[in-house]
Amino acid sequence: MHRPPSLKTIEIFASVQGEGLRQGEPTIFVRLAGCNLRCSFCDTKYAWERGRVQTVAEVIQQVRSLWRGFPARWICLTGGEPLRQSIAPLIRELQKHGLAVQVETNGTFAPRPAADWYTVSPKPPAYAFHASFRKKAKEVKLVVSRALTTDVVRGVRRSFPATVPVLLQPQSNARWSMAKAMKLLEEAVRLGLINIRVSVQLHKIYQVK
């Protein structure tokens, strides 16, 4: 018997997008379990393991239930690392329901599902990402960790089209990281790098999930 497509999920909830160009926009989040990188500065370490197996139909049912009370246009698939799992069936079903899908990824897996928006966040030490993201990414997000340097910012900036913003996001909105983000931005400007911006985690300021 054919088994229905399933995913290992952590949580599904309604909130606002706290990061990137879509910051502040009403969004329903589907957080998937598991990550291949496990960065020390990760603020969702609880998504590295655990999780429960749900069919795509069950996920859709939960999303629709939330949507009835919070009719957001956007659904964000995040993690963990969502592209570790087969998310194409879920994306297709969400789009059939007229919803737009954002995928937040570290970029190490190929972006095969046809999502509406890819947020790519390369991670240390290599800051590597799949070459397909050069054309697929809507935005690039760099967490301003201790490891981030001007050379990394310059390399990442030159790897993507100038029209794709590179966002310097302070690590957990920490003051030292904000100061470093401003310093990196100033150095980037002096180097003639364009479309680099500083950012914050808006959901932490508003103290929402």
At residue 50 the predicted structure's pLDDT band, cuts being 50, 70 and 90, is confident
pLDDT at 138 (0 to 100): 98
The pTM is what? 0.96
Q: Which residue stretches of 29-72 are H helix?
A: 56-69
What is the separation of C-alpha 106 from the centre of its chain, rounded to a whole number of angstroms?
7
Q: Is it the case that residue 11 has pLDDT exceeding 80?
A: yes
Question: Euclidean distance between the first and final Cα of the chain, in Å?
Answer: 39
**Residue 134 tokens, joined:** 């050069």
Residue 107 belongs to what H/E stretch? Answer: none
171 inside domain: yes
1 inside domain: no
Rounded to whole angstroms, how far apart are CA atoms 46 and 49? 7
Q: How many domains does the chain have?
A: 1
pLDDT at 49 (0 to 100): 84
**Residue 150 tokens, joined:** 């001007």
Rounded to whole angstroms, how far apart are CA atoms 198 and 180? 10
Backbone angles phi, psi at 126, to 5 degrees: -85, -25
Amino acid at 196: I
pLDDT at 4 (0 to 100): 82
At residue 3 the predicted structure's pLDDT band, cuts being 50, 70 and 90, is confident
Torsional sign, CA 25, 44, 35, 132: positive
CATH of the domain at 119: 3.20.20.70
pLDDT tens by residue, 146-164: 999 999 999 999 999 999 9
pLDDT tens by residue, 106-150: 999 999 889 999 999 999 999 999 999 999 999 999 999 999 999
Q: Is it the case that residue 83 has pLDDT exceeding 90?
A: yes
Q: Which domain holds residue 193?
A: 6-205
